[in-house]
Structure 1
Amino acid sequence: MRDLHQTDSVLAARSDARAQAGSQSEYMPYLPATTSPFAPEGVDPTQLVWAETVAPGGYTHRVLARGTRFRFDDPTGDACANLVVLNALEPWERLNVADTQKIPWQAYLGAGSPLLSGDGRALATVLEDTSGRHDAFCGTSTDAWNERKYGSAAPEGPSPSGRSLLVKAAAKHGLTKRDLPPSVSFFQGVRVDPEGVLEPIGSAGPGRHVTFVAELPLLVLVANVAHPLDPRPDYVVGPLRVHAWRGAPTTADDERSRATPERTRAYLNTVDYAEARGL
């Protein structure tokens, strides 16, 4: 316990606060981002614009420029990154999970998968994927679900719901829960069996990562919480590492945009929107 004499006056409290300036937490943003001790291999640390370790049961948010690469790392095999992306210029344009699955004919997300908005544009694209265990069916956990399974869903408690944390992240940008679409999650897989039943297949193990590119200026919201179909009775989730660095978006001539007719249309729509705004 801290000695009360250390804070028994304004000057003492100021000195005490300044003495802790160099303290670090296991879960924190690294400021500046170039100081991250976990910069991805092959990425010049001096180019990082976002670096953070998100706590189990934590959340984060960021506005990223068009073309920015951002990467999720699962160091323990227990992270579950629930992701929502919105057009940072016009946040009413947002991730549409149904269109993300049905228009490009992709039930399961992986390298090359675009994340589509309801306006037919690619908001982001999965560039690399060493996990292959993701979920675009279930969305994240809700308060009611976590209260029933774990006994609590309080955002500050031991088992926060993904929905409550995404609401908190959205509020930092003037948005409300009505602005939030269903999310997709990464690192905890789900598959559909021949009878149409959703089956959790868990993690591919520690040390996996997923890298994305922002195809438009993005508002990125992330909640790192236990997957709602996790069969374990306890609330289990590990830390999530996030890094971002500058890059270029997908162009109309890129092989990703020419992979299928449906993807071509989505990327053409995206490029048209961006060029009209001088991006």
Structure 2
Amino acid sequence: MPLDDSTLDNMGRSEALGSVGQARADARARETQSRWMPYVPASGTPTPPVGIDPATLLWSETVAPGGYTHLRVARGTRIRLEDPEGDASASVVMFNALNPGERLNVADTQKIPWQAYLGAHHPLLSGDGRVLATILEDTSGHHDAFCGASGDAWNVHKYGDATPEGPTPSGHALLRMAGAKHGLGRRDIPPAVSFFQGVRVLEDGAFDWRGSAGAGTHVDLLAELPLIVLIANAPHPRDPRPDYVVAPLRVHAWTERASREGDAHVDATPERQRAYRNSIAYAALAGL
């Protein structure tokens, strides 16, 4: 209760302040690290990426099944997504943090590299012809750039509920929650790319869900510009299983250097080279 003058007069100042101190001590004694909270400092994570010095980590978090996270990262940040149990499903969208009107464009992400399937060295582009991020490393190969995150109507139809606070949140609802932390609304959220749950297109044009590559895979994204990154961990919309099946997702981040001319993935094709040059020039003009 408030410690106003009347309270202090009735209880006695020492008794009232002692009660506050006891409450504080009790709260601190009960303090625990939730499995789903970011580790602060990130070096305290019990599951650092293999081969990475924990002291270099800027971010380390395990995202709950049906949960989300959001990162604002500098140019040159390397983000590792891990699927430790084999059923994570990471729907990812990203925005230029200097101008959030510039955001992931899935069509250009498929068109510029002449490749619809995501994998190592694939650039993720904005609609402004710039590379927002590069897939540097991929040990899964089971991804999707066709279907986007699961929508509210789909989740209501399949599971009976789509709200982010409920037992079966949609991927899009989670992305909206994450985006709201950065002042982004429903209309700002573009179609997502998805990692760890694969989709292929059959000869008749139908989507064939391939599921997960199994436990222990990861994908590394390199930020080519300052980014706002939104991540939802919810079942893929093409997942045929009747239950809401999704496993924890790990996210780590540390500093590397952004791509530059002369890197093999930058100079692989004229189209890629032009897109990377656009990002490099933008960053240089912004003093990054």
Q: What TM bracket, shorter-length normalisation?
A: over 0.9
Other-structure match for 1:5: none
Structure 1 position 39 matched with structure 2 position 53: no
Which secondary structure state, in structure 2, belongs to the residue aligned with residue 146 of structure 1?
helix
Residue 11 of structure 1: CA displacement?
5.0
Structure 1 position 83 matched with structure 2 position 92: yes
Residue 69 of structure 1: CA displacement?
0.5
Structure 1 position 66 matched with structure 2 position 72: no
Structure 2 gaps, min length 5:
1-18
Structure 1 position 208 matched with structure 2 position 208: no
Q: Deviations over 1:6-35 (max 9, x none)?
A: xxx6555433322222x1222221111111
Q: Which amino acid aligns with 2:120?
A: A
Q: Which amino acid aligns with 1:51?
A: S
Q: Deviations over 1:134-184 (max 9, x none)?
A: 000000011110010001111111110011110010110111111111100
Other-structure match for 1:250: 259
- C-alpha separation in 2, matches of 1:46 and 1:12: 35
Q: Which amino acid aligns with 1:212?
A: L
Other-structure match for 2:200: 191
TM-score (normalizing by structure 1) = 0.95
Q: Deviations over 1:172-202 (max 9, x none)?
A: 0111111111100000000000000011000
Other-structure match for 2:150: 141
Find the partner of 2:188 among 162, 179, 183.
Answer: 179
Q: Within 5 Å, which residues of 2 pair with 1:8-19? A: 11-19=21-29
Structure 1 position 219 matched with structure 2 position 223: no
Q: Which amino acid aligns with 2:111?
A: K
Other-structure match for 2:271: 262
Provide the aligned C-alpha RMSD in A.
1.0
Q: Within 5 Å, which residues of 2 pair with 1:17-166? A: 17-21=27-31, 23-166=32-175
Aligned length: 270
Other-structure match for 2:7: none
- C-alpha separation in 1, matches of 2:230 and 2:282: 22
Q: Deviations over 1:61-94 (max 9, x none)?
A: 0111100111000011000000001101111100
TM-score (normalizing by structure 2) = 0.92
Q: Which amino acid aligns with 1:176?
A: G
Give structure 1 regions of 4+ aligned residues with deviation exceeding 4 angstroms. Answer: 9-12
Residue 273 of structure 1: CA displacement?
0.3
Which secondary structure state, in structure 1, belongs to the residue aligned with residue 47 of structure 2?
coil
- C-alpha separation in 2, matches of 1:226 and 1:191: 17
Which secondary structure state, in structure 2, belongs to the residue aligned with residue 123 of structure 1?
strand
Other-structure match for 2:10: none
Percent identity between matched residues is 65
